[in-house]
Amino acid sequence: MIRLERLRADHADALLAFERENRAYFARSVPDRGDAYFVEFAARHRALLAEQDAGVCHFHVVVDDRGELVGRVNLVDVEEGAAELGYRIGEGSAGRGLATAVVGEMCRLAATAYRLTSLTAVTTHDNPASTAVLGRNGFTAVGHVSLAGRPGTRYQLQLAGGH
């Protein structure tokens, strides 16, 4: 059983450890965050909490039944009923349907708790797992993007009455 927890200040250490442990894994399918991300993590974490308090973003960590942080899922750039969805599941939890379940839960929260009407998401073409997760959750391709020079696709999902 997994649960989503809204990002809090006390998640900082576990989140930094998660990002460090999975850096090489993530870099295979999404643009790397770069060294500065890790050096400046504490300040960045505080800034994310401030954005969340302002209502422009909703950040969540994914916690397993042992209380371990195994992923994160975020809604960013919340504006006029829309937001962009982003998510990361650690290598040790990948391939078991967790990302599909987490994205589904976030879509429900987006519609009900955050009262959003649409979500977008992007993924690189060399990330078929993410493409499959988005498809299983009802997202449809709406355009092409470039992510740090890597070709990708933009997806959209219309939310209605609690997806």
Find the CATH number of the domain harbouring 20: 3.40.630.30
In a domain, 163, yes or no: no
Number of domains forming the structure of the chain? 1
In a domain, 74, yes or no: yes
CA–CA gap between residue 82 and residue 117 (Å, rounded): 6
Q: Give ∠ CA 139-100-16 in degrees, rounded to 5.
A: 110
Helices (H), 8-142: 12-27, 35-39, 41-54, 98-112, 128-136
CA–CA gap between residue 94 and residue 113 (Å, rounded): 27
Residue 52's SS3 state is helix
CA–CA gap between residue 97 and residue 124 (Å, rounded): 19
Give the domain extent around 96: 3-158
CA–CA gap between residue 12 and residue 159 (Å, rounded): 31
Determine phi and psi for 19, rounding to 5 degrees: -65, -40
In a domain, 130, yes or no: yes
Determine phi and psi for 67, rounding to 5 degrees: 85, 10
What is this structure's pTM? 0.90
Reading the chain (163 residues) residue by residue, the pLDDT tens digits are 889 999 999 999 999 999 999 999 988 887 788 888 999 999 999 999 999 999 999 999 999 999 999 999 999 999 999 999 999 999 999 989 999 999 999 999 999 999 999 999 999 998 899 999 999 999 999 999 998 888 999 999 999 754 4
